[in-house]
Amino acid sequence: MQEDPSRVRFFTPEDYSASNLPDVEGNFQFMTCPRNISDLSTKISLGHIGSKVRQILFNATFPVLIPSPVFKAWNSIIVMFGGSINGIKCLQLGLNISRLTGLPLYLFTQAQGQSQKDYRRILEQRSLLRETENEVRHWHFFESGPLETNLYSVPHDALVIAGTYGHKGIKGLLFGSTMETLQRTLPNNLLLLSHHFRKHPWFNTNPSGMAS
């Protein structure tokens, strides 16, 4: 039986690898956490995602919701689409959430030397072009201008779906520059997908409830 995606359950760990290290399964539809997990109030600031949260975002196989500092209802969904595999996953997730909630869906693309035709070709190769044309309300496509300025087209009450990427080095996990700008500039709720993201069975259903 298909589980109701609108029902919320709180997770209570039962097993611990250490006294303060609970064992957490990875088969979740979503996870939510603040931008910073820290006991030091001086470390908490807007536009800053803490190192522990970055580790979660880097390794999670499920979407992670980073809520805005104050409650803000979602009135639309906007997917940050750059044409990558992670961008395709974000679009698929956005399409599913839009169907389930009835909220309008938008795309945002900061073009990097490519035309909209090139991005449409990517969607066509993934068999997503017709679905995108039918269900996306508007595609905010920018071939010029700084990203910080173009982000003003993102509605403040939209749920933003975006992919994260980075690498581990001497300074720890680093986000890509686009992700850094996005999370520093937007006041929105962010639903973030790492490159480890694997589809939960819930994301593989179409409106009729049949597996796609």
**Per the domain annotation, does 198 fall within a domain?**
yes
Q: Which long-range contacts (CB under 8 A, 24 or more apart) does 73-76 make?
A: 73/157, 74/101, 74/103, 74/157, 74/158, 74/159, 74/189, 75/103, 75/155, 75/157, 75/158, 76/103, 76/104, 76/105, 76/106, 76/137, 76/155, 76/157, 76/158, 76/159
Give the Cα separation of 188 and 51 in Å (integer).
20
Q: Has residue 209 got a pLDDT over 60? A: no
61: domain range?
A: 53-204
- Edge-to-edge order in the sheet of strand 158-163: 31-32, 64-66, 190-193, 158-163, 76-80, 105-110, 136-142
Residue 132 lies in a domain: yes
Q: Based on the structure, what is the number of domains in the chain? A: 1
Residue 137 within a domain: yes
Give pLDDT tens digits for 192-207: 888 777 765 555 544 4
Q: How many residues does the chain have?
A: 212
- pLDDT tens per residue, range 92-113: 999 999 998 999 999 999 988 8
Q: Is residue 75 part of a domain?
A: yes
Mean pLDDT (the chain, rounded): 78
- 42 falls within a domain: no
Of residues 78, 68, 77, the one with CA closest to residue 34: 68
The domain spanning residue 178 has which CATH number?
Answer: 3.40.50.12370
Q: Is residue 30 part of a domain?
A: no
Give the residue among 22, 57, 18 at the shortest CA–CA distance from 37: 57
Q: Kindly state whether residue 141 falls inside one of the protein's structural domains.
A: yes
* Cβ atoms of residues 75 and 159 within 8 Å: no
- Distance CA(94)–CA(115), nearest Å, equals 22
pLDDT of 181 higher than 70: yes
Question: Does the residue 38 lie in any domain?
Answer: no
Angstrom distance (rounded) from CA 103 to CA 159: 10
29-81 pLDDT, tens digit each: 777 877 666 655 545 555 567 777 777 777 778 888 888 878 888 999 999 99
Cα-based distances in Å from 15 to 26, 28, 32: 14, 17, 21
